Amino acid sequence: MSNPLLETRGLTIQFGGHVAVNEVNFQLKPHTFKSIIGPNGAGKTTFFNLLSGQLKPTAGSVFFKGKDITKLAVYERTRLGIGRSFQITNVFPNLTVLENVRIAVQAKGGVSFRLFSHYRKFHQFEETAVRLLEKVHLAAKATQLAKNLSHGDKRKLEIAILLALEPELLLLDEPTAGMSLEEVPSIIEVIRTLKDSGDHTILLIEHKIDMVLGLSDSLAVLFNGRLLADGTPQEIMNNELVQSAYLGGLYEDAVKS
Binding stretches for ligand ATP (CB under 6 A): 15, 18, 20, 38, 40-46, 207
**Rounded Cα distance, 213 and 30, in Å:** 19
Min separation Cβ 35 and ligand ATP, Å:
13
- Nearest distance in Å: CB 228, ligand ATP: 12
3-state DSSP assignment of residue 188: helix
Q: Which residues make beta-bridge pairs with 129?
A: none
**What is the rounded distance in angstroms from the CA atom of residue 206 to the CA atom of residue 254?**
9
Q: What is the spatial distance between Cα 169 and Cα 88, in angstroms, rounded to a whole number? A: 19
Nearer to ligand ATP among residue 127 and residue 210 (C-beta): 210
Q: Are 83 and 160 in contact (CB under 8 A)?
A: no
Question: Residue 136 or residue 222: which is nearer to ligand ATP going by CB?
Answer: 222
Instruction: Output the smallest distance, CB 201 to ligand ATP, in A.
Output: 20
Closer residue to ligand ATP in complex, CB, 127/253: 253
- Three-state secondary structure readout of 2-13: CCCCEEEEEEEE
CB 174 to ligand ATP: min, Å: 7
Nearer to ligand ATP, 125 or 223 (CB): 223
Residue placing its CB nearer to ligand ATP in the complex, 42 or 132: 42
Which of 16/198 has CB closer to ligand ATP?
Answer: 16
- Supply the angle between the helices 184-197 and 151-164 in degrees, to the nearest 10: 20
Q: Which secondary structure element, helix H or strand E, spans residue 229, and what is its range?
A: strand 226-231
**Do residues 46 and 53 lie in contact, with contact meaning Cβ atoms separated by under 8 Å?**
no
Shortest distance, position 116 Cβ to ligand ATP, whole Å = 39
Strand pairing partners for 220? Answer: 36, 230
As measured in angstroms, the least distance from the Cβ of 227 to ligand ATP is 12
Q: What are phi and psi of 82, to 5 degrees?
A: -105, 115
